[in-house]
Structure 1
């Protein structure tokens, strides 16, 4: 029996006394000092994440732009060299294959970052879509370690060991430079609702950079952060998670990310189905919920109104920033009204929750 995969930083997680779990086939740290402690560290100072389990796929060739345009719902033609785009990637049904980041090197070279548990599935899907496009599509995930430094002090800390002016890297752009003397791709992106950077380098240098950032950021309170706080951070900022807010049976319009579906561009996979749904109106909507009764609404708990099932929880937890229990739920569109009170079935017992704005946290 094959065990879970490990990132090149596995030994650092052991040394940091992290609690490890299986996450999508990867043995990853869920926490070090504790989820709430780590959550507050990212909101107030900075936190360092091992995100090396994420997938990286290279697209090259004279039809690279046309191919990427067909693949994703967002408009890659607006990208300039050094810019990054977020987008869903859909099935013909309009359901979501994955959500991803597209980095443009130039007109014939795009670098696509996908979710860890979806890498093989996404790569197979991308290969199927090549058809008559003159492109090469390569899974290059093994060639990278990926780290994320997130939080209000991220730039200050990283600048101490970088040879590029990080203030010149604006949100959703990237450059190449050195971190502690190591050649890296550095992007101003993240998954926490805070400012920060994602760093890509060759696997043999991952442990060096990990240690150096923790060393030079120690006086500022930087901490290693596990998947537990990664989830509460992204959830407060209403950043969707595949398998929760996104999936094969959920469209971008239902998930509340319709802004990233550009109907005015040429054809893309899923366009016809999404156009029909837009015209007819979405049957379900994603809403924010605050628990009125006691209890935490967990993913896939049923949601009811007057005893009738009207949807389900996609994500739910205690919010360390807001100090309350909150959730996201996918429900019948006609009931998605601010202030509406619903019932969450927690261990088959109805517990009241109220619909509130779903952007629970916004920095600044």
Structure 2
């Protein structure tokens, strides 16, 4: 449950509820109501617990989940007025503090994580709580709460199928009730059926038009019929792994496996669709939601247990009037349904409802899904483009309408550009042992980091492979802010703090700090018009590379900010960190000051070209847990410090006995080069391309590559097709390709 928000839980007599504060310093409050709508904290043993936040105030705060809680309360006739919570965990709790409660009767509970907005110069964000429910003996998983008022509530028992009508614009939610259960889905144009014509979903057409095995929310979200007319659109998906290239299970499959007469989805569909005069088939091509299949490297169709868990769902929108059919797959002879078919549930919502698009982001395999969210700058960026991509749980612009990546690139190199980088993960590392925790976990020497300074560093596993790269801000003697790309980094730091018994808190602040970067030669001129700093802070023009200042927008009474002289483009630039509530004002001020100077918005496509030119590495491309900082080309971030840190011995060994190194490539071809392409000398592979781009400035294709340390040749080839049948000539060169002495970024 996200910090500052709440979650709604239905409990039955005998169920146990647990609430845990993984990060520490986060209060937990609980509201309990019996089925008559009366406040009933005694039914959870909370009669003597201190009163907490008022329910009206919690809902008025507008945190995540509060709108849903208000709707569910209203649907049950429960009046929030006058209801107060009970304090489960205080705001001074240690990381991992937990409480467990047993329900004495059936209850409706709201668990809240109250907290005020965090200013950028502070380090007190409201953070997540973990909620667990252990059902009484014989209890079955509850369905997730409805997303809105339900028009159709349809249970599909295990190994059966049902057909139903859906109006144009209505939403169809297909829910895996207990997890690991496949649900085949068919949809037909209802108007065409009335004319005696049958046009249903066509997997081959869909895959061809979408260029993907299965559509997901975003740009590539639609399923088509053979006429190339879209019938349904994917709006939300909490699983992210399905299959659209196989048949729903058939009688022949079971007969060939030695199970004649076995129930199967195709025959179940034939029976369900008979009232609609749809001719039966021996095998129905279907959307196989939750079906975990793949094509192996040898071109074989493989399967394993589904990724879906109890309550996971896909939300679709009907793009015309439809006749739909959904099955609960009958397969119990292989891993397709975890060897035990269970129920599927379908809900239909009215077209008047509004649902955000999103796919699930999970920090770890066991984490609850969180749908893709918009940054606080989205109201401004979405007015300039509709081309957004999902990046680590956020929608970020790929490029902007009317400009395009090339124009955005040149704006950054010649004038200035502004981009939304709010998807970066931020962690407040505070407490007496904050410096010690970071000293033991990052490769830089934290004891040399001054207040107001920023440093680029790596975090490594014991074997030397990288977890992440990060920038660390020092806000005080025992106050740090770590900014990185991987959400797991915070959990890893907390685990190390607990392992070593350190008095330190690692608090997630990603949702309290959104940020834009203003990059380019004119960035200082633009921001000097909008950034105010107190006399005890450096003025913007005085801010040196990798330093930051606590600032205000426009003047001493403006919105609170932190401004750092950092970036990811190789140009002089700044990042502005603000609370989400102030993001539109920050964007507007920067835009007003920058537009006369040629400021342009910048998307991820142009940013990728800029960072490849500047030799700046990217997680998952230029480094991973199998590469060390030296192999990633950031060996400068490994300090010679006396104290031990995780991975130190392995890094010393790897540095003394290097196997691979990062190099630059200039490709003597206009053909596309990409991540993972092999680098060849004769028949031997000697390296791999990690990142590549066509450089507008250098007028050639360039790449970053990881090469065998023993390679002496400067002329190599990049293998395409099978690596041998097509070769592109390339030359090994130093990197970065652009401004190797960093004169521009230091200007």
Under a length normalisation based on structure 1, what TM-score does the superposition of the two structures give?
0.95
1:358–1:244 distance in 2 versus 1, CA, 3 Å: same
1:330 equivalent to 2:706? Answer yes
* Alignment-derived partner of residue 347 in structure 2: none
Unpaired segments ≥5 residues, structure 2: 1-236, 239-357, 359-371, 534-538
Q: Which moves more between the two structures, 190-199 or 286-295?
A: 286-295
1:24 deviation in Å?
2.7
Could you list the per-position Cα deviations for residues 303-358 of structure 1 after superposition, in whole angstroms to 9, with x for gaps in the alignment? 111111122100001011111101111111111x4x61111123332111110111
Q: Aligned runs of 1:1-364 on 2, under 5 Å?
A: 1-2=237-238, 3=358, 4-32=372-400, 33-115=403-485, 118-119=486-487, 121-130=488-497, 131=499, 132-164=501-533, 165-180=539-554, 181-279=558-656, 281-335=657-711, 337=712, 340-348=714-722, 349-362=726-739, 363-364=743-744
Q: Which has the higher helix share?
A: 1
| Alpha-carbon distance between aligned partners in 1 of 2:391 and 2:505, rounded to the nearest angstrom | 30
| Alpha-carbon distance between aligned partners in 2 of 1:361 and 1:195, rounded to the nearest angstrom | 13
Instruction: Tell me the SS of whatever aligns to 2:570.
Output: coil
Provide the alpha-carbon RMSD of the alignment.
1.3
| Alpha-carbon distance between aligned partners in 1 of 2:388 and 2:695, rounded to the nearest angstrom | 22
| Alpha-carbon distance between aligned partners in 1 of 2:600 and 2:404, rounded to the nearest angstrom | 11
1:18 deviation in Å?
4.4
| Alpha-carbon distance between aligned partners in 2 of 1:12 and 1:162, rounded to the nearest angstrom | 20
1:161 deviation in Å?
1.2
Instruction: Tell me the SS of whatever aligns to 1:217.
Output: helix
| Alpha-carbon distance between aligned partners in 2 of 1:294 and 1:175, rounded to the nearest angstrom | 44
Unpaired segments ≥5 residues, structure 1: none
Could you list the per-position Cα deviations for residues 260-284 of structure 1 after superposition, in whole angstroms to 9, with x for gaps in the alignment? 11233310010011111122x2101
Instruction: Tell me the SS of whatever aligns to 1:269.
Output: coil
Q: Is the 8 A contact 1:86 1:100 kept in 2?
A: yes
* Alignment-derived partner of residue 329 in structure 2: none
| Alpha-carbon distance between aligned partners in 2 of 1:84 and 1:312, rounded to the nearest angstrom | 32
| Alpha-carbon distance between aligned partners in 2 of 1:357 and 1:275, rounded to the nearest angstrom | 24
Could you list the per-position Cα deviations for residues 232-289 of structure 1 after superposition, in whole angstroms to 9, with x for gaps in the alignment? 111101011111111111100111211111233310010011111122x210111100
Q: Is the 8 A contact 1:18 1:30 kept in 2?
A: no
| Alpha-carbon distance between aligned partners in 2 of 1:187 and 1:25, rounded to the nearest angstrom | 24
| Alpha-carbon distance between aligned partners in 2 of 1:221 and 1:311, rounded to the nearest angstrom | 41
| Alpha-carbon distance between aligned partners in 2 of 1:188 and 1:56, rounded to the nearest angstrom | 17
| Alpha-carbon distance between aligned partners in 2 of 1:44 and 1:346, rounded to the nearest angstrom | 35
Could you list the per-position Cα deviations for residues 39-63 of structure 1 after superposition, in whole angstroms to 9, with x for gaps in the alignment? 1100100000101111110011111
Q: Which moves more between the two structures, 292-301 or 184-193?
A: 292-301
| Alpha-carbon distance between aligned partners in 2 of 1:286 and 1:357, rounded to the nearest angstrom | 9
Instruction: Tell me the SS of whatever aligns to 2:397.
Output: strand
1:292 deviation in Å?
1.6
| Alpha-carbon distance between aligned partners in 1 of 2:571 and 2:580, rounded to the nearest angstrom | 26
Query: Which of structure 1's runs of 4+ aligned residues deviate more than 4 A?
Result: none
1:293 deviation in Å?
3.2
Q: Is the 8 A contact 1:49 1:147 kept in 2?
A: yes
1:161–1:293 distance in 2 versus 1, CA, 3 Å: closer
| Alpha-carbon distance between aligned partners in 1 of 2:386 and 2:399, rounded to the nearest angstrom | 6
Q: Is the 8 A contact 1:89 1:98 kept in 2?
A: yes
Q: Is the 8 A contact 1:57 1:141 kept in 2?
A: yes
Instruction: Tell me the SS of whatever aligns to 2:710.
Output: helix
Under a length normalisation based on structure 2, what TM-score does the superposition of the two structures give?
0.47
Find the structure with the greater CA-based Rg: 2
Q: Flag the structure with more relative contact order, 1 or 2, with Cα contacts below 8 A and sequence separation at least 6.
A: 1
1:13 deviation in Å?
1.9
| Alpha-carbon distance between aligned partners in 2 of 1:84 and 1:16, rounded to the nearest angstrom | 32
| Alpha-carbon distance between aligned partners in 2 of 1:18 and 1:235, rounded to the nearest angstrom | 25
Instruction: Tell me the SS of whatever aligns to 2:423.
Output: coil
Q: Is the 8 A contact 2:470 2:484 kept in 1?
A: yes
| Alpha-carbon distance between aligned partners in 2 of 1:346 and 1:97, rounded to the nearest angstrom | 30
| Alpha-carbon distance between aligned partners in 1 of 2:573 and 2:591, rounded to the nearest angstrom | 15
The aligned length equals 358
Q: Is the 8 A contact 2:516 2:577 kept in 1?
A: yes
